[in-house]
Amino acid sequence: MLVLIGIAVVVVGFVARINPLVVILVAAITTGVLAAVGPGVDARALLTAGIDTISRFGEAFNDNRYFHITWLVLPVIGLLEHAGLQERARDLVTQVKAATAGRLMLIYLIVRQATSALGLTSLGGHPQMVRPLIAPMAEGAAETEHGPLTNKARFRIRSMAAGTDNIGLFFGEDIFIAIGSIVLIVGFLEQAGVRVEALHVSLWAIPTAVVALLVHGARLLMFDRQVRRDMAVPDVVEDAEAGR
Amino acid sequence: MITLEHAYVATGLMFAAFSILSLRDPLNPTRFRSALFWGLIAVSLLFGSWLGGLGNGLLVIALVVIGAMGKLGVGKPVTTTGEQRQAGAARWRNALFVPALMVPLVAVGGTLLAKYTPAGAWLISPVQTTLISLGLGCVVALVVAMVWFRPPVMAPVQEGRRLMDSIGWAALLPQMLASLGAVFLAADVGQVVGDLVAQVIPMTSAFLAVFAYCAGMALFTIIMGNAFAAFPVMTAAIGLPIVVHQFGGDPSIVCAIGMLAGFCGTLMTPMAANFNVVPANLLELPDRNAPLNGVIRAQLPTAAIMLVANMLLMYFLAFRF
């Protein structure tokens, strides 16, 4: 039960808004040390446990370096922004009269879910698609409809664009049989002595995928009304961070 | 053959360049700390395999200390003005989309080639093929963009640094959380949580068992930030022994929908940094550091409805097929 204190550290740290990097490291060391606590364990053994935990953390950190490969896209995206990519995306959308922020994101949701279901998960993503294309396009469409956006409306649209990418990915990818989660399910069940077909597992992700499309799609169709309400909220003081 | 190690070297060199340019940027209020931070990430990417567990652990501690000393400053790289960009948009028109779309297309194309053709298998390593192909796509797109638009030579590094500074230390969060997961796993935290949920909810009916399994998946994912970490724990504690064996649910349906219930948790938590926190930084949301930032709030209604939907779907499908 003592190891649960590590989880408590994470929750309290996040709620107290302490720097998450610190929270995570402290939680890891706490967990590792407390796991070693038991009858007849002296301070020296706990110190060893702490050092072992730091080593284990370092090893895992090294194994998980692959997250950083995604950042290789930043020079390309930055360069295209330098040449006017976001402006072009905005201009292109303003030419389509029927485009609204909600309808545009609905189309993106369908495309994202369908391509993820085919295993093409890297077609979307926040650095590659949302920041350079989807968010500016949705903002452009809303600007054509409502005029210059208030901060509240602008950040609402950006948040929804990021969320729509996640939702399309999560409720699409499991339909593809060779995705990590399906592999994990089949492997786990096999370890437990239950044999299932990967195809069978992935087929049963379809009902949830359909419901997700209906639920989030309906929210996106109602989204433009939300943006209109946000347009009624004037910008308070120019936020130093937002205006950067 | 292109391997993961090559992708690390490319990424490491990029971070080394960010580090040097930050150091030489007098307009960055924390240029020394920024340079050290990006520099240490470069060291990890270039030499991490030779540092050993404790060496990497000390490197992490150094990164955390630098990150904890306060906000990392945002540099002022040379970039274009709004008017210049508007002019660029008018000049290049849809050509601007070509390199942007090349990144995912090369990523997907490379993955498929490596899987299904001998030439592709010879070119790209079978370990982490998608990530290697993604890195390849970035490099190819960058070369195309440089040749096509002829920007200043340093533009890609400067523009990349502009975006990296806007992400700041959040860039490290996904990796840190994954490492925390490894420590939790070694300390058997999962088993303890699984037993606790099993004790709190009396599983006297199939519906209560489904409820406990789905709620446990979502809750544990909210804590860990990753449904993959929650799945073995909750399925071993509740899903398999109770929903499947005791009440006779179909294992494929129970596990498929159980995993998706966990994904609802991913949509609700700042612990899933790469999905919820990094985009908030990337899109420069004012509330990016709040526990419930704009991205999570945008997702919450969908996630809550989908969690209930998953419970109902599992209850109505798993015992029928």
pLDDT digits (tens, 9 = 90+) for B45-59: 999 999 999 999 999
Average model confidence (pLDDT) across chain A: 89
Which letter does DSSP use for residue A179 in this model?
A: S
How many contacts does A have with B, using Cβ atoms within 8 A?
424
- What is the mean pLDDT of the segment spanning B136-147? 95
Q: Tell me how close the Cα of A215 comes to any Cα of chain B, in angstroms.
A: 7
The rounded percent of chain A whose pLDDT value lies above 90 is: 53
Q: Which residue of A has its CA nearest to B225?
A: A10
From chain A, the residues in CB contact with B7 under 8 A are: 66, 69, 72
Residue-wise burial string across A13-33, b where 16 or more C-beta atoms lie within 10 A, e elsewhere: bbeeeebbbebbbbbbbbbbb
- Given a cut of 80, whether residue A179 has pLDDT beyond it is no
- Given a cut of 80, whether residue A238 has pLDDT beyond it is no
Per residue in A47-95, pLDDT (tens digit) is 999 999 999 999 999 998 988 988 999 999 999 999 999 899 888 888 8
| Cα A232 to the center of its chain, rounded Å | 29
- Given a cut of 80, whether residue A187 has pLDDT beyond it is yes
Provide the pLDDT for residue B224: 81
- Given a cut of 60, whether residue A240 has pLDDT beyond it is no
B298 vs A: CB within 8 A: yes
- What is the mean pLDDT of the segment spanning A152-172? 96
The 3 state secondary structure assigned to chain B is CECHHHHHHHHHHHHHHHHHHHHCCCCCCCHHHHHHHHHHHHHHHHHHHHHHHHHHHHHHHHHHHHHHCCCCCCCCCCCCCHHHHHHHHHHHHHHHHHHHHHHHHHHHHHHHHHHHCHHHHHHECCCCHHHHHHHHHHHHHHHHHHHHHCCCCCHHHHHHHHHHHHHHHHHHHHHHHHHHHHHHHHCCHHHHHHHHHHHHCCCCCHHHHHHHHHHHHHHHHHHHCCHHHHHHHHHHHHHHHHHHHHCCCCHHHHHHHHHHHHHHHHCCCCCCHHHHCHHHHHCCCCCCCCCCCHHHHHHHHHHHHHHHHHHHHHHHHHCCC
Q: Which residue of A has its CA nearest to B52?
A: A59
Q: Which residue of A has its CA nearest to B259?
A: A181
Per residue in B256-285, pLDDT (tens digit) is 999 999 999 999 999 898 899 999 999 999
- Given a cut of 60, whether residue A140 has pLDDT beyond it is yes
- Given a cut of 60, whether residue A243 has pLDDT beyond it is no
Per residue in B224-248, pLDDT (tens digit) is 888 988 888 888 888 988 999 999 9
Distance from C-alpha of B212 to C-alpha of B123, rounded to nearest angstrom: 47
From chain A, the residues in CB contact with B133 under 8 A are: 122
Name the residue with tokens 């606590």: A37
- Given a cut of 70, whether residue A239 has pLDDT beyond it is no
Structure confidence at residue A153 as a pLDDT band (50, 70, 90): very high
Q: Which residue of B has its CA nearest to A37?
A: B187
The rounded percent of chain B whose pLDDT value lies above 90 is: 62
- Measured at the CA of A123, the angle between CA A122 and CA A124, to 5 degrees, comes to 90
Q: Which of residues 98-157 of B touch A (CB under 8 A)?
A: 99-100, 103-104, 107-108, 111, 128, 130-135, 138-139, 141-142, 145-146, 149, 151, 155-157
For the record, the structure tokens of B289 come out as 């550091």
Answer whether B163 sits within 8 Å of A197, measured CB to CB.
no
pTM listed for this prediction: 0.85
- Given a cut of 50, whether residue A244 has pLDDT beyond it is no
Q: Tell me how close the Cα of B204 comes to any Cα of chain A, in angstroms.
A: 23
Per residue in B167-219, pLDDT (tens digit) is 888 889 888 887 887 888 788 877 787 788 778 888 889 999 999 999 999 99
Structure confidence at residue B223 as a pLDDT band (50, 70, 90): confident
Distance from C-alpha of A58 to C-alpha of B57, rounded to nearest angstrom: 4
- What is the mean pLDDT of the segment spanning A18-40? 90
B246 vs A: CB within 8 A: no
